[in-house]
């Protein structure tokens, strides 16, 4: 396994060397030591370490919390390694979402546990982000409209086709009930169309609700649609959401109408010949 590479940010030389020795003894590679916030940011950009061990009080105009905030924007995890444990400092540090907070003087095992947890957590966050990006690419690449909701029917995801057909942008629709965004009615008087999320939660997957279902877009346009609903499950088969796929069937209706007209014309011609 490749050694994990660390950047140490500490302005006291003796302390910095002690941290370096401890890190190397634990099997980590120390890329460099920075003594100021400004230097830490520069080295983090240049070296791209797997993790930064950050002191809070540093030489220069920038403290460790301010430096950590910028370093986190590079997608590099930070652990604070500091002598300051007061509530005010901790609350300020917490805002930067550190992956650990170790008080000096530290025990080597304590630091190692914090480093391993931070590296593991960061790796899981990276994989989750990548999986979300893949999912987004897949959903956006589907030729039909897609809306995904939580189990309560609140919109989480919409692809561009769904945005076009409904007239809602994801930024506006996110968190709204699907019935408000995906407004479907029946063309047949007196018939109601069931909320697709409710149907999935009750019955599981379905293919089509009722005939003559029409989507009423935000602008008032009426679009005949076919609808597919399916549950989203976690690794334990628990339902954690619902995906609704729908598509405009107006062209299909026109084709069916043309076939009916053609069949009717052929029938009339046949009757005329028989006469």
Which alpha helices (H) appear in 174-249, and where do they start and end?
178-181, 196-203
Any idea which of 2-16, 18-32, 68-82, 85-99 has the lowest mean pLDDT? Answer: 85-99
Token pair in block for residue 136: 């987004």
CA-CA distance, 168 to 174, in Å (whole number)? 10
Q: Is the pLDDT of residue 252 over 60?
A: no
Q: Does residue 44 contact residue 77 with C-beta atoms inside 8 Å?
A: no
Cis amide prior to 225 (ω within 30 degrees): no
Whole-model pTM over 0.75: no
Whole-number pLDDT of residue 189: 76
- The mean predicted confidence, pLDDT, of the chain is 87
Q: Could you give phi then psi for residue 82, rounded to 5 degrees?
A: -140, 160
Percent of the chain residues past pLDDT 90, beyond the cut: 60
Mean pLDDT of 193-217: 89
Question: Please, which pLDDT band fits residue 41 given cuts at 50, 70 and 90?
Answer: very high
Whole-number pLDDT of residue 187: 83
Q: Is the pLDDT of residue 254 over 90?
A: no
8-state DSSP, 36: B
Compute the chain's Rg from CA coordinates. Answer: 30
Q: Is the pLDDT of residue 267 over 50?
A: no
Question: Please, which pLDDT band fits residue 55 given cuts at 50, 70 and 90?
Answer: very high
Q: Which residues, including other chains, have CB under 8 Å from residue 44's CB and lie 6 or more apart?
A: 7, 52, 71, 74, 76
Who has greater pLDDT, 129 or 173? 173
Any idea which of 11-20, 138-147, 181-190 has the lowest mean pLDDT? Answer: 138-147
Report the SS3 class of residue 131: helix
Mean pLDDT of 214-228: 92
Mean pLDDT of 196-209: 90
Q: Is the pLDDT of residue 99 over 70?
A: yes
Mean pLDDT of 202-226: 89
Q: Is the pLDDT of residue 262 over 70?
A: no
Token pair in block for residue 143: 């030729």
Q: Does residue 258 contact residue 233 with C-beta atoms inside 8 Å?
A: no
Q: What is the pLDDT of residues 131-177, one digit of tens each?
A: 777 777 777 777 789 999 999 999 999 999 999 999 999 999 999 99
Question: Please, which pLDDT band fits residue 263 given cuts at 50, 70 and 90?
Answer: low
């Amino acid at each position: 396994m490749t050694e994990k590479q660390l950047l140490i940010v500490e302005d006291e030389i003796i302390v910095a060397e002690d941290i370096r020795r401890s890190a190397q003894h634990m099997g980590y590679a120390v890329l460099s030591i920075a003594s100021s916030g400004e230097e830490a940011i520069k080295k983090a950009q240049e070296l791209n370490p797997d993790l930064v061990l950050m002191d809070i009080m540093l030489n220069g105009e920038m403290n460790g919390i301010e430096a950590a905030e910028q370093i986190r924007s590079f997608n590099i995890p930070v652990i604070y390694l500091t002598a300051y444990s007061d509530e005010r400092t901790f609350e300020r540090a917490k805002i930067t979402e550190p992956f650990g907070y170790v008080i000096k003087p530290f025990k080597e095992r304590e630091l190692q546990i914090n480093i391993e947890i931070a590296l593991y957590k960061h790796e899981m966050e990276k994989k989750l982000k990548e999986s979300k990006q893949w999912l987004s690419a897949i959903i956006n690449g589907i030729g039909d409209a897609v809306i995904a909701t939580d189990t309560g029917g609140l919109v989480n995801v919409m692809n561009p086709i769904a945005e076009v057909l409904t007239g809602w942008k994801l930024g506006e629709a996110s968190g709204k009930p699907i019935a408000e965004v995906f407004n479907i009615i029946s063309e047949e008087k007196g018939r109601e169309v069931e909320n697709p999320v409710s149907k999935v939660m009750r019955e599981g997957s379905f293919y089509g609700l009722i005939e003559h279902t029409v989507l009423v877009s935000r602008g008032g346009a009426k679009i005949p649609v076919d609808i597919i609903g399916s549950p989203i499950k976690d690794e334990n088969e628990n339902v954690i959401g619902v995906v609704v796929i729908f598509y405009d069937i107006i062209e299909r209706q026109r084709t069916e109408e043309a076939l009916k007209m053609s069949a009717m014309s052929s029938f009339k011609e046949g009757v005329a010949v028989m006469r």
